[in-house]
A and B are shown apart, each in its own frame.
Chain A
């Protein structure tokens, strides 16, 4: 594709969770994932990507990895699901299946996919499988699991809310309960990388990358409505767009820590106003690499206080001007003015 992205970007996405279960472990009574030694909470990259995919679906983009309402679907069925124009084997001869698939499957352009088709597929499903040369797409956008900056505590109370009960007809009488375990408070820095070489594999476009600048923010706002997920907020998103030299600073998420003089002790943290985030390591690292940086795309919360070397410097919403003060080019993202530009065009 002509507009395939050719520059590297590095992302820091900071979210928090108040009285929430941001990532339950189904193998552990759906309790929030935590490191038992450090008490840091953990949110996996899989959970984050699920929010992003759900937001893509809500926005009308084609998505390959979907929830399937409990029914299993073959890879071929999922592939066909995003290829709207293919309804027969003859249709396959009229189109470039791989190109159309990547154009339609927005999440594959970001995160890649492995299309291991079933050997016993028949008919159209077998035919579509033949049209994929490799079936393996390495995602150019990689997020890492996030570990909370604070040691976390669980709410002691565990209430039960039955999601659905059914006694009608021949249905079994009764219901099921969800044990409800939540973190009192946790703040998570996600780290992401947009790799220009991987972009060639999936055709990740400049527009796709620009979409990330609003998608992450909106996904956390819109896809955390349900009871256990409510209480999560995006607090800071920064995409460092590097110049065309294959450079990236790396591990930018390690440039944030709780500033002890202006933050309550971990055990007393209850919401975002209880802490200040020290950003000196982050800013210094970017300042050292300023010559390699095209600009830093930023959106931040007005409730997250920042400090530089222990001195309060403003809120995350003011980070662009803080970066500029340190000689780093920054661009403010206006999420709700910008996101419509990367919605799918009407047919």
Chain B
């Protein structure tokens, strides 16, 4: 589940690309003091992510912008929504907004047979652990993880992405249900790399790292109920690493969902 938060700009501002840490601070404000407070220190994927403030671009007072917050456990969204209602100021660095409206959304890739396209709304972080580089034929010395880049080929990207989603599945889904790597077939049918880019990200207070991120367009066809659950988990929890910083946030491309009809023709399925 996710929250669509409608914002109104309180002042002119330049769009700040180094938004991850500050936006996390605003979103997590609601979690502070709630029963989910210990997620701050959780040494595991927590199944929470968020979009950037969109649409991108410099801001004029009165502009309407949006941000989405998504979670595999919808209960986490309760205190976040509650705080946004109580405290309407939504300031991300120099970008000042007020919260106008919150709507709950339930994205769903669709039932088995449905085709569609998922896009990464924010950069995806995939790291290759040093002990896996030999498996992928990557020459690498030292004990630092590598940020995935196109020259590493698609295989390590897919594998690390799936392993990461396995971890989220372990924490967020009933244990009797198989995770992505327990099932045959890949998560996505098509992997279209849009771009790679490097951005400085403040990962904790005062600690800044330059992450190599990538943006993607993924094609999918839902094979069965398990695959549907895996894809919906990716929509709820984000893909790749550091989702709690707003990385790996996904959207179903509007109008892309299609399912077969009696005549065998594809038909546009209702968007969520």
Is there an interface contact between B262 and A271, defined as CB atoms closer than 8 Å? Answer: no
Indicate if B170 sits at the interface (CB-CB under 8 A): no
Indicate if A222 sits at the interface (CB-CB under 8 A): yes
Is there an interface contact between A230 and B100, defined as CB atoms closer than 8 Å? Answer: no
Total contacting residues, chain A, CB less than 8 A = 34
Indicate if A160 sits at the interface (CB-CB under 8 A): yes
Q: Which residues of A contact B224 (CB under 8 A)?
A: 336
Indicate if A260 sits at the interface (CB-CB under 8 A): no
A18 to chain B minimum Cβ distance, whole angstroms, is 8
Q: Which residues of B contact A272 (CB under 8 A)?
A: 176
Is there an interface contact between B88 and A345, defined as CB atoms closer than 8 Å? Answer: no
Q: Which residues of B contact A273 (CB under 8 A)?
A: 174, 176
**Known contacts A162-B85, A175-B85, A222 near B78 by CB under 8 Å:** no
Q: How far is the CA of A343 from the CA of B264 in the complex (A)?
A: 11
Q: How far is the CA of A164 from the CA of B5 in the complex (A)?
A: 10
Contact of A164 among B74, B79, B103, B269 (CB under 8 A): B103
B126 to chain A minimum Cβ distance, whole angstroms, is 29
Indicate if B113 sits at the interface (CB-CB under 8 A): yes
Q: How far is the CA of A336 from the CA of B177 in the complex (A)?
A: 20
Q: How far is the CA of A72 from the CA of B272 in the complex (A)?
A: 25
Residue of B nearest to A221 (CB): B111
Contact of A166 among B98, B101, B263, B272 (CB under 8 A): B101
Is there an interface contact between B1 and A165, defined as CB atoms closer than 8 Å? Answer: no
Indicate if B241 sits at the interface (CB-CB under 8 A): no
Q: Which residues of B contact A96 (CB under 8 A)?
A: none
Is there an interface contact between A225 and B108, defined as CB atoms closer than 8 Å? Answer: yes
Indicate if A327 sits at the interface (CB-CB under 8 A): no
Q: Which residues of B contact A336 (CB under 8 A)?
A: 111-113, 224
Indicate if A133 sits at the interface (CB-CB under 8 A): no
Q: Which of A160-209 contact B (CB under 8 A)?
A: 160-168, 175, 180
Indicate if A218 sits at the interface (CB-CB under 8 A): yes
Indicate if A346 sits at the interface (CB-CB under 8 A): yes
Indicate if B81 sits at the interface (CB-CB under 8 A): yes
Q: How far is the CA of A226 from the CA of B260 in the complex (A)?
A: 24
Q: How far is the CA of A163 from the CA of B103 in the complex (A)?
A: 6
Q: Which residues of B contact A29 (CB under 8 A)?
A: none
Contact of A167 among B75, B101, B112 (CB under 8 A): B101
Q: Mark B73-107, 1 if CB is under 8 A from A, else 0.
A: 01101110110010010000000001111111010
Residue of B nearest to A229 (CB): B106
Indicate if B129 sits at the interface (CB-CB under 8 A): no
Residue of B nearest to A58 (CB): B270
Is there an interface contact between B111 and A227, defined as CB atoms closer than 8 Å? Answer: no
- Most B Cβ at <10 Å: residue of A161, A166, A175: A161
Q: Mark A273-298, 1 if CB is under 8 A from B, else 0.
A: 10000000000000000000000000
Contact of B272 among A162, A165, A225, A227 (CB under 8 A): A225
Contact of A343 among B6, B98, B106, B261 (CB under 8 A): B261
Q: Mark A139-173, 1 if CB is under 8 A from B, else 0.
A: 00000000000000000000111111111100000
Q: Which of B93-142 contact A (CB under 8 A)?
A: 98-104, 106, 108, 111-113
Residue of B nearest to A271 (CB): B174
Contact of B78 among A161, A342, A343 (CB under 8 A): A161
Indicate if A100 sits at the interface (CB-CB under 8 A): no
Q: How far is the CA of A337 from the CA of B8 in the complex (A)?
A: 47
B184 to chain A minimum Cβ distance, whole angstroms, is 15
Indicate if B205 sits at the interface (CB-CB under 8 A): no
Indicate if B265 sits at the interface (CB-CB under 8 A): yes
Q: How far is the CA of A166 from the CA of B77 in the complex (A)?
A: 18
Indicate if B225 sits at the interface (CB-CB under 8 A): yes
**Known contacts A230-B74, A271-B176, A162 near B101 by CB under 8 Å:** no
Is there an interface contact between A161 and B85, defined as CB atoms closer than 8 Å? Answer: no
Contact of B262 among A18, A163, A346 (CB under 8 A): A346
Residue of A nearest to B8 (CB): A168
Contact of A346 among B102, B225, B265, B270 (CB under 8 A): B265
Is there an interface contact between A227 and B74, defined as CB atoms closer than 8 Å? Answer: yes
Q: How far is the CA of A58 from the CA of B111 in the complex (A)?
A: 12
Contact of A341 among B262, B265, B269 (CB under 8 A): B262
Indicate if A311 sits at the interface (CB-CB under 8 A): no
Q: Mark A213-246, 1 if CB is under 8 A from B, else 0.
A: 0000010011001110010000000000000000
Q: Which residues of B contact A132 (CB under 8 A)?
A: none
Indicate if A250 sits at the interface (CB-CB under 8 A): no
Is there an interface contact between A162 and B82, defined as CB atoms closer than 8 Å? Answer: yes
Q: How far is the CA of A60 from the CA of B267 in the complex (A)?
A: 10
Q: Which residues of A contact B74 (CB under 8 A)?
A: 161, 227, 230
**Known contacts A168-B100, A345-B263, A162 near B81 by CB under 8 Å:** yes
A214 to chain B minimum Cβ distance, whole angstroms, is 10
Contact of A165 among B78, B102, B108 (CB under 8 A): B102
Q: How far is the CA of A303 from the CA of B173 in the complex (A)?
A: 14
A315 to chain B minimum Cβ distance, whole angstroms, is 12
Is there an interface contact between B77 and A161, defined as CB atoms closer than 8 Å? Answer: yes
Indicate if A344 sits at the interface (CB-CB under 8 A): yes
Q: Which residues of B contact A18 (CB under 8 A)?
A: 174
**Known contacts A58-B270, A221-B225, A336-B111, A159 near B103 by CB under 8 Å:** no
A332 to chain B minimum Cβ distance, whole angstroms, is 15
Is there an interface contact between A163 and B261, defined as CB atoms closer than 8 Å? Answer: no
Excluding A161-B82, A175-B102, 11 further A-B contacts by CB distance (< 8 Å) are A159-B78, A161-B78, A162-B102, A167-B88, A168-B100, A218-B111, A272-B176, A273-B174, A340-B113, A340-B260, A346-B261
A→B interface (CB under 8 Å) = 18, 58, 60, 159-168, 175, 180, 218, 221-222, 225-227, 230, 271-273, 303, 336, 340-346
